[in-house]
């Protein structure tokens, strides 16, 4: 199966798993908002979990709950990031954000419960022994908490009121937390489930995560609102430093390409088995949304 | 050590553990807000973890991370419940709430990261085998997510716009989620760590959790704002059904006393070893804050 077919097939598997775990819950706006929030998207993080696992000989059946967990965690972060007190976004993936479709209280609660759901999903016995599942819980917690994603978000908020634009080192640290940490965990998770050395996948993911963010900044400048489904050029308009404002468009593209080469090199130990992950890295900087 | 001495000693242990895990984190408002949010309070939930463990022969050293986890989870719920879009409270334990002292974005992020921290704390190897720790993660997730605490909160919000006051059955279900589920997990956690049958502690906690909420409703009517550190009579003023509005003050007191007797009876298998937990149940309906 080609990379793009695999990405679609995995997205469907993850969607199905999330809708199953969210079925038979209380008939309340918060539950509807949770189901709504986990729909759509490329599921790149979930794909990284499943593809890392496949590359190391673990079937989708065994790894699916970890992929769904990463996507539930990602969905929580989007719902809260869109809140009026945060990025105040009306659209996400071309649809009204949760606080616009319901209300702020429902968005806070749906995000909260999606985070909880992520950790609940990692308790699925199919993922492996208790030790393996605890390693997954600890890894997801580190990636998403105050040393990871939340820290990145906090640094992003601080940057908005800072007296000077961020330096390249600062924006790299910010993005390592905001998007890199969860992408890193997603790529490592397959190795944790397989009981394999996570170091190569960790190196791959570190380069991939940064390339992903640089590509996002490039899309902010060059992107088509109809395709991205969100208002573009927001950061640049707000006078915030981005990789493009710091490196220039050509410089940002060159840096992203170098990172993709770095990500590919990290997967050398796996030879041809790493083909889909290499394609994923190339896709990250070639995507239009 | 008497119950009240033990409650204080445990609160100090839990406070110390939380401040240690929150030390050496990024110097950001969100980190300061997290430290602020986990200060103070009676730590009844954390005490239940430690006392349940002690009763079953497990030392505080081994159980402390689970007690800290439950208190971190509780702290997250308070920070988010206080938000303008939720209960819109200015004071908590006599101090400004997080969104008043900092801002809404910091409160959302601090709550988010406190939830993550709770799950991270449950990965502490001191708590036992991987299987034990996964059982704790699964238990905390069930108690706090869409089938537990978040559901209770959602039902509470729905009640505010409902066309009629809640019935006794409805308010009991609401409170079972909103406060009962986490108290239940706290009481069970000691048994999970000890590898003992959690059923008696679960029965104890179910009765205790409901008694706790009835006592809260009674305090809303009779409480002293200077002691509770929050505005009282809010629910009654808002025309919301409470156990007091449904049962009358005397009826509510009688129901709480019956539940405490039920909680005590559940602990019969443990004889004198259960003394502190029995005192805790009595304290819950006798407290003034």
Each residue's pLDDT tens digit, A29-72 = 999 999 999 998 899 999 999 999 999 999 999 999 999 999 99
Span A109-120, pLDDT tens digits: 999 999 999 999
Give me A54's structure tokens. Answer: 């496949």
Our CA-based measurement puts residue A134 at a distance from the nearest CA of chain B, in whole angstroms, of 6
Indicate the angle between helix axes B60-81 and B104-121, nearest 10 degrees: 160
**Can you name the residues that pair with A96 across neighbouring β-strands?**
A91
Spatial CA neighbour of A136 closest among A151, A121, A147, A146: A121
Which residues of chain B have a CB within 8 Å of the CB of A86?
105, 108
Q: Which residue among A112, A134, A137 places its CB closest to the CB of B150? A: A112
Looking at every residue in chain A, the average pLDDT score rounds to 93
Say what the pLDDT of residue B240 is. 78
Considering only CB atoms, A154 lies closest to which of B29, B146, B154, namely: B29
Q: Which residues partner with A95 through β-bridges?
A: A92
pLDDT digits (tens, 9 = 90+) for B161-212: 888 889 999 999 999 999 999 999 999 999 999 999 999 999 999 999 999 9
Q: How far is CA A262 from CA A208, A265, B6, B78, in A?
A: 8, 5, 56, 44
Q: What is the pLDDT of residue A237?
A: 58
Selected residue of A119, A151, A177 to mutate for chain B interface (largest B Cβ count, 10 A): A119
Looking at residue B284, what is its pLDDT?
87
Angle between helices A104-121 and A3-22 (to 10 degrees): 110
Domain residue extents for chain B: 3-286
Which member of A28, A34, A129 has the closest CB to residue B130?
A129
- Give residue B67's region: left, alpha or beta (phi > 0; psi -120 to 50): alpha
Residue of A nearest to B158 (CA): A28
> How big is the A-B interface in CB pairs under 8 Å?
161
Residues of chain B under the 50 pLDDT cut: 232
Q: Is the pLDDT of residue A207 over 70?
A: yes
Per-residue confidence (pLDDT) for residue B231, from 0 to 100: 52
- d(C-alpha B266, C-alpha A137), whole Å: 33
* Relative orientation angle of helices B275-286 and B44-55, to the nearest 10 degrees: 160
- Is A177 in contact with A149 (CB distance < 8 Å)? yes
Residue of B nearest to A144 (CA): B116
Minimum-distance CB partner of A108 among B31, B80, B134 = B80
CB contact under 8 A, B137 and A134: yes
Best interface-test mutation with B: which of A113, A140, A157, A185 has the largest number of B CBs within 10 A? Answer: A113
B86 chain-A contacts, CB cut-off 8 A: 105, 108
Say how far apart CA A7 and CA B5 lie, in whole Å.
58
The whole-angstrom separation of Cα B2 and Cα A267 is: 60
Residues of chain B with C-beta less than 8 angstroms from the C-beta of A78: none
What is the rounded CA–CA span in Å between residue A225 and residue A237? 15
Asked if B150 and A120 come within 8 Å (Cβ–Cβ), the reply is no
Give the up-direction half-sphere exposure of residue A103: CA atoms within 13 A in the CB hemisphere: 8
- Alpha carbon of B238: minimum distance to chain A alpha carbons (Å): 18
Parallel, antiparallel or unpaired: strands B95-96 and B91-92 = antiparallel
Place of tokens 């790149």: A44
Q: Which chain B residues are within 8 Å of A134, Cβ to Cβ? A: 123, 130, 133-134, 137
The reply to whether residue A113 touches residue B150, judged by beta carbons under 8 angstroms, is: yes
More confidently predicted of A94 and B128: B128
Buried b or exposed e, range B177-198, using 16+ CB within 10 angstroms: bbbbbbbbbbbbbbbbbbebeb
Q: Which of A29, A6, A5 lies closest to A107, judged by CA?
A: A29
Residues from chain B contacting residue A131 (CB–CB below 8 Å):
129-130
- Residues of chain A neighbouring B29 (CB-CB closer than 8 A): 154, 158
A158 contacts B116? CB cut-off 8 A: no
Q: CA-CA distances (angstroms) from residue A108 to A21, A38, B53, B162? A: 20, 15, 33, 20
What is the predicted ipTM? 0.94
User: What mean pLDDT comes out for the span A85-112?
Assistant: 95
The pLDDT of residue A238 is: 62
Provide the shortest C-alpha distance from residue A216 to chain B (in Å): 23
By Cβ distance, the residue of B105, B131, B146 closest to A113 is B146
DSSP summary character for residue A238: T
DSSP letter assigned to residue B27:
-
Structure tokens at A39: 């729909």
Alpha carbon distance B123, A132 (integer Å): 11
The beta-carbon neighbor of B137 closest among A80, A86, A137 is A137
Question: In angstroms, what separates the C-alpha of B178 from chain A's closest C-alpha?
Answer: 12
Contact B119 A137 (CB under 8 A): yes
Interface test with B, best of A22, A134, A140, A178 (most B CBs within 10 A): A134
Start-end of H helices in chain B: 3-22, 29-37, 44-55, 60-81, 98-101, 104-121, 130-144, 149-160, 168-175, 181-194, 199-222, 225-228, 234-237, 243-266, 275-286
pLDDT digits (tens, 9 = 90+) for A161-198: 888 889 999 999 999 999 999 999 999 999 999 999 99
Q: Are A154 and B109 inside 8 Å of each other by CB?
A: yes
CA A184/CA A235 separation, integer angstroms = 24
CB neighbours of residue A53 within 10 Å = 25
Identify the CATH class of A3-286. mainly alpha
Confidence of residue A231 (pLDDT cuts 50, 70, 90): low
Tell the burial category of A187 from Cβ atoms under 10 Å away from its Cβ (0-12, 13-18, 19+). buried
Nearest-angstrom CA–CA distance, A192 and A62? 12
């Amino acid at each position: 199966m080609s990379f793009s077919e695999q990405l679609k097939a995995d997205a469907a598997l993850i969607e199905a798993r999330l809708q199953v775990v969210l079925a038979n819950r209380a008939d309340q706006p918060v539950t509807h908002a949770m189901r709504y929030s986990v729909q759509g998207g490329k599921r790149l993080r979930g794909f990284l979990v499943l593809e890392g696992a496949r590359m190391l000989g673990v079937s989708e059946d065994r790894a699916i709950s970890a992929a769904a967990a990463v996507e539930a965690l990602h969905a929580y972060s989007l719902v809260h990031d869109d809140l009026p007190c945060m990025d105040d976004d009306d659209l996400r993936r071309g649809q009204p954000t949760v606080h616009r479709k319901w209300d702020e209280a429902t968005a806070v609660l749906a995000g909260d419960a999606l985070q909880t759901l992520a950790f609940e999903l990692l308790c699925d016995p199919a993922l492996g022994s208790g030790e393996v599942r605890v390693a997954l819980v600890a890894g997801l917690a580190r990636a998403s908490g105050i040393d990871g994603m939340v820290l990145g978000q906090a640094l992003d908020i601080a940057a908005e009121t800072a007296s000077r634009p961020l330096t390249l080192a600062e924006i790299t640290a910010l993005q390592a937390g905001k998007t890199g940490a969860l992408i890193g965990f997603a790529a490592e998770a397959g190795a944790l489930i397989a009981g394999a050395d996570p170091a190569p996948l960790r190196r791959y993911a570190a380069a991939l995560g940064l390339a992903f963010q640089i590509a996002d900044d490039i899309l902010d400048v060059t992107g088509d609102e109809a395709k991205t489904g969100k208002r573009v050029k927001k950061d640049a308009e707000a006078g915030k430093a981005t990789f493009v404002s710091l490196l220039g468009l050509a410089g940002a593209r060159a840096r992203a390409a170098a990172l993709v080469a770095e990500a590919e090199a990290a997967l050398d130990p796996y030879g041809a088995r790493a083909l889909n992950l290499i394609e994923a890295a190339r896709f990250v900087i070639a995507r239009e949304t």
